[in-house]
Structure 1
Amino acid sequence: MKNNNIILIGMPGSGKSTAGVLFAKAMNYRFLDVDFLIQEREGKRLYEVIEEKGNDYFLSVEDAVNCSLDVERTVVATGGSVVYCENAMKHLKTLGTVIYIKVPEKEIERRITNFSTRGIIIRSGDTLEDLYNERVSLYEKYADLTVLCDEKELQYNADKIMREYEKYINSAK
């Protein structure tokens, strides 16, 4: 069935995977982390793919993996850079509701302690602030719903995503 999935987008460290699992459980949905699919396909960790083959190659893989998704009743945690993949975003929007998990830049900075091994697509010389500022407009462009998750408590954020999603769905009826 088309459009019965929930697609999570947002910065690395926003909680797409961590709060996403709790959200999926509460919804009685399956959970899928696209980063794991990329790692499985490439046989390497994300940062190794980026280091060895470069940003453009990684984005082409990310685009292909996201475009191949065929899921139902699933919460999909995308990689933070998926918004650079126009084809992938078009496909994901056909699969369901796209939720942007918005987290303030300072909180992202606090959460990401392993920046060099996270597998983050960033131009040489750019800072996390540069990356954040560049991506926010893309996340907002593709989102059907934006949920501000500025709390540190994981369960609180998952519950907030659930409440906001339910309000969004009910307002569309």
Structure 2
Amino acid sequence: MTLDELLAGTVHDVARGLLGWTILRDGIGGRIVEAEAYAPDDPASHAFRGRTPRNGSMFGTPGTLYVYRSYGIHWCVNVACEPEGTGAAVLLRALEPTVGLAEMRERRRVPHDRDLCSGPGKLTQALGITGADDGRAMGSPPFALEPADAAVEVVTTPRVGITKAEDRPWRYLIRETEWASRGPRRASP
């Protein structure tokens, strides 16, 4: 499957399908191990109330990055999917850091590599993703996306860190990963 075909799928297909792929920004990054789906009819989605100047990138062509501040503290990166104008995106929650660890360690200043990319804010800080990246294409410089080198076993759990529709099993993780943001709760295949 090509990247364009993958990103044109539903939020659930994309969230599941991106697991195992490697995302790089300026040659620094890792394997995606956790993602969450956000559909336009989802009350937890920034697109739920329609398009605004803040969330406009969510409505972009599949593969457009939607980068926003969470609680005014951390940047979070999402990947727009489904047909342009839909308002669907997948939040990248965690990576297994594999490339550019020295740079990530300098940016994050944490004692354990496990803490480099084990959460959406940690991930963006480690890769140097900021609001300036909002609207960029996931597969175009300074970003690169490399396909998974092997199939991965995926589990789903309810999403974390939200207050609306929190029980939907729209969080996707590679089974048995030690790099996820939080341990799976009520995981199912």
TM-score normalised by the chain length of structure 1:
0.26
Higher relative contact order (CA closer than 8 Å, sequence separation 6+): 1
Identify, as 1 or 2, the structure richer in strand: 2
TM-score by length of 2: 0.24
- More helix as a share of residues: 1
